[in-house]
A and B are shown apart, each in its own frame.
Chain A
Amino acid sequence: MSAITMVRQFGEVLLAIALAPLFVGWIAQCRAWLQSRTAPPLVQPYRMMRKLFQKDVALAANATPLFRITPYVLFGSMVLAAAIIPSIATDLPFARVADAIALIGIFATARVFQSLAAMDTGTAFGTMGARREMMVGFLAEPALLMVLFNAFLLSGSTALPSVVEAYSAGPLSINPSLTFAGVAFVMVLLAENARIPIDNPSTHLELTMIHEAMVLEYSARHLALIEWASSLKLFNYACIGFALFLPWGIATHGADGGWALLLAAAALIAKLVVFGAALALIESLSAKLRIFRAPEYLATAFLLAVLGLLVHLLLGS
């Protein structure tokens, strides 16, 4: 393994770990602007985590070891996912470990651990959050799989680096099936990352929360790791979206020296800035759905992805 490959691999992971909280901070800032509030500083998530790391953990008396290792498992699996997703370069030694479908599996592992940890202390809100999180999960997965099916039909691969390479080799064009799949993907992204319209990241209203209900019992460094992991999850989802739908700028195999990597990092940041603003706009324009409207919302995402599939098979493009 050459030095530049190691730089690419570790650089990408460190970049993800560093940028993820900033990305969340950026979305919060945009939302505040759109809602005519004074925006918090961009580094607010970092300040939050620094404070949390200094505090003492208040652990529920009946918490099992599962409860205590879960924050580490969550953070670990998200960092691992960041190592697999080609966000700035495709020639990563670790990228072959899992293709996009296996990546969904890694996210599912994190979700199951988080739900189990939420049930561990045996509180009413924890179990409620776990149940709702698992519900959103099983509704979102078919839609996400159909999105990947679309990408597979166009590129002949479910491995993200190959998808990016296949797109980059062809001419710039907007594919009708990818348009449907892209909309479906954004809908799934919102649902999976506990954002409006399925969940509200800033709520503490007991009966509507999902993600917050699951992490109620966590405090201090555990909570900081969980928050960091969920910002990494959003970052990872965004990068999967970029790889599938906006692969331009990612340094491909053979053209990934130092300057190309810097350029790719700049392109990634530009995409994140635009995408974060767009997410904030979507979230500001929509209202949170009642929890039992979630199936309809995710069924819409699923149908859009299936439409993309049918469009591809009918047009043969």
Chain B
Amino acid sequence: MLLLVLGWLFLGAIGLLRPHSLRFVARGLFPAGAVIGLGVALLGTVALLAGHAPQAMVLPLGLPSLPFHVRLDALSGFFLLLMGLAGAGISIFAAGYFRSGEGTAPGLLGLHYHIFLASMALVVLADDAYFFMVAWELMALSSYFLVVSQHRLPEIRRAGFLYLLMAHLGALCLLLSFGVLQGGRWQFTFDAMRGAPLTPLWATVAFLLALLGFGAKAGLVPLHGWLPEAHPAAPSPVSAMMSGLMLKTAVYGMLRITFDLLHVQFWQWGVLVLALGLFSAIYGAIFAGVKTDMKRLLAYSSIENIGLIFTGIGLAILFDACHLPLFAALALSAALLHSLNHAFFKSLLFLATGNVLHATKRRSLGALGGLAHTMPWVATMALVGTLAIAGLPPLNGFVSEWLLLQAFLFTPQIPHAFINMLVPLGAAVLALTVALAAYVMVKFYGIIFLGQPREPALEDAHDANWLERIGLAWLALGCIAIGVLPQIALRAAGAVTGLLLGQTVNFSSQLWWVAPITAKQASYSGLLLLAGIICVVGITFVVVRGLAHGRFRRTVPWDCGYPWQTSRMQDTAEGFGQPIRHIFGTAFDMERELPSPSDSAPHYRIHVEDRLWRMAYLPIERAVQRLSDAIGVLQGGRLAIYLLYSFLTLLALLVGVL
């Protein structure tokens, strides 16, 4: 199994042989990386089918007394499947995407890219804390170098620095968490940790540290600050990998520690994760609604989706702690399915923004419009992604959100007063989030691809090249396939819930039905729904054409008869987000400049900022700054003073020893 992962590293390394040959790196190495991705997916599938028989191995690598352990079980198998399938699409796209003269040399870019892929696979394969941290850091560093591949721009350097900072704060928390988890026995393999005796207090400490660490990686609010900065800064395939795949390693880690290494759960943990998840979901959705930079909008949408996944995890912990394992398995299946879905549709949309960026050189929605005419291929694929992420049947995003809502329906059965009344309201927050996501995606798609071009230069935008088209089509097909036959993915998730909770939800014996718990309670069939819509639409079309006629003529748009229409009269992204600014005004820091009635050149400007920047991040930054200034007093810069410090330290030690 490691051969495949090493294959990625090897591909990266041979890219260095001819670092400046774009042709060699792009046409040779990236497609090979995609093939390896499919292999990894196959490996994951094998692990899922194997069920309860994990494969473990000790590598002859690492420190003398601390060899690297790897292990492949259903949980890592599921995430390998996710990375392999989505990663293959992204790699094929990347083969056609990178152009020469854009930042880092192609060979170096290929090296970072493949190390990034390999390290993500190693994170889910690692079976001891030491190796896990090595792979985790490798992942953070390689992605950092990818983010700053256009390092000549100061804002990209700034975004990269913020990303590196948050990644390391998170890693620090994880290190501490593992330190607690080993329970005083100083053995760092996961096997030893599973048996480590922990008091409830220490288990909670380990859980909270893990939540902080993985939450920082996943972008849970309030640890999300880096995400909307780093995702837009990276080249689009890298944004797709970071959002679609890397965030999922945090989900993996959270599941591994909560359900595998810690063998007991408390309902308070569940409520905490649930609350954080719901808050992130709604927060991300609201901010995506007001953002006008297309990649930043998608980054906030990632926060929203991660929020949904953590909502599912929180529900699973809550149910599991209350000894309702069947419902816990349902919630966990929903969370896992949503992870897989998000990997597909978010990668697809990030890649589509890459095409738009190459074709128009514009990232701001306000400068786009009407691209469906010049980029029909990208527009069609992006439409699939848009409908999927908006949670609409019969595509994949709907199924996981539906299952999550179904899991919420059972929360009144939790045997704790108040909790069983408050948690059902979470379902309303979830419904609001999903509907807001639909709003955001209508804005995203409508303003980029529909309407009239807002700038004349957009008329000669070009469509994707053939490698990019394959990548986009692969991911779009994934969205449709999982949506139509979700059972395939749900059975894979079932192997994971079987491993973690000892319980599998039987979603139906037939492949095209999904019925959580029983068919009488609720059922859904994406396949029949799609078939039904196609049939009805087809019959309607034939009947209408048969009974009436098919005549039409092209004219100018009517628009209530206004004769002078320009493309500037369409809604801008700011205008489309106005209801959200109005309704959720308290969430934002807004600066508005309105023109006065007598202005000869009226100018309207609005700037919306994350309120948490001012309320959380900046105060912390200032506090750290003050602290380091205070410590800086010690550094006098004179040799005599430093010698005095050494002398005093020695003296103190002597006193201590004696």
Contacts and interface: CB of A to CB of B under 8 A. Distances in A.
Interface of A: 53-54, 56-62, 64, 66, 69, 72-73, 75-77, 79-80, 83, 94, 96-99, 101-102, 105-106, 108-109, 111-112, 115-116, 119-128, 130-132, 134-135, 137-146, 149, 152-153, 156-159, 162, 206, 216-217, 220-221, 225, 292, 295, 302, 306, 309-310, 313
B555 A61 contact: yes
Nearest to B439: A134
A145 B431 contact: yes
A255 to B, nearest CB: 18
B interface secondary structure, majority = helix
A106 B557 contact: no
Contacts of B554: 59-61
Contacts of A140: 435
A148 to B, nearest CB: 9
A216 B558 contact: yes
Interface string B118-138: 000000000000000000000
B428 A142 contact: yes
A182 B258 CA distance: 41
11 contacts: A60-B558, A76-B533, A83-B532, A97-B532, A108-B435, A116-B450, A119-B571, A131-B576, A141-B432, A158-B522, A216-B558
Contacts of B17: none
If over half of A's interface residues share one DSSP class (helix, strand or loop), that class is named, otherwise mixed; here it is helix
Nearest to B577: A131
Interface stretch (B146-154, B184-192, B541-549): B541-549
A59 B553 contact: yes
Contacts of A56: 549, 551-553
Contacts of B421: 309-310, 313
Given A115-B442, A141-B432, A309-B424, A97 B557 contact: no
Of residues B421, B424, B431, which shows the largest number of chain A Cβ atoms within 10 Å of its Cβ? Answer: B431
Size bracket of the B interface? 35 or more
Interface stretch (B163-171, B355-363, B367-375, B470-478): B367-375
A273 B68 CA distance: 74
Contacts of B435: 108, 137-142
B579 A60 contact: no
A149 B424 contact: yes
Nearest to B569: A124
A131 B578 contact: yes
Contacts of B576: 127, 131
B603 interface: no
Given A58-B553, A59-B552, A216-B560, 19 more contacts: A62-B452, A64-B373, A75-B537, A97-B525, A101-B402, A102-B402, A112-B387, A112-B390, A116-B446, A119-B571, A120-B372, A121-B559, A122-B557, A130-B442, A131-B571, A135-B439, A159-B520, A309-B424, A310-B421
A206 B560 contact: yes
Interface of B: 369-370, 372-373, 379, 383, 387, 390-393, 398, 402, 405-406, 409, 412, 420-421, 424-425, 427-429, 431-432, 434-436, 438-439, 441-443, 445-447, 450-452, 513, 519-525, 528-529, 532-533, 536-537, 540-541, 544, 547-549, 551-560, 562, 565, 567, 569-571, 575-576, 578-579, 582-583
A106 B383 CA distance: 17
B370 A62 contact: yes
A188 to B, nearest CB: 12
Given A54-B548, A60-B558, A134 B540 contact: no
A187 B624 CA distance: 52
Contacts of B447: 119
B338 to A, nearest CB: 15
A98 B425 contact: no
B523 A99 contact: yes
Given A119-B451, A162-B521, A101 B405 contact: yes
B525 A96 contact: yes
A58 B450 contact: no
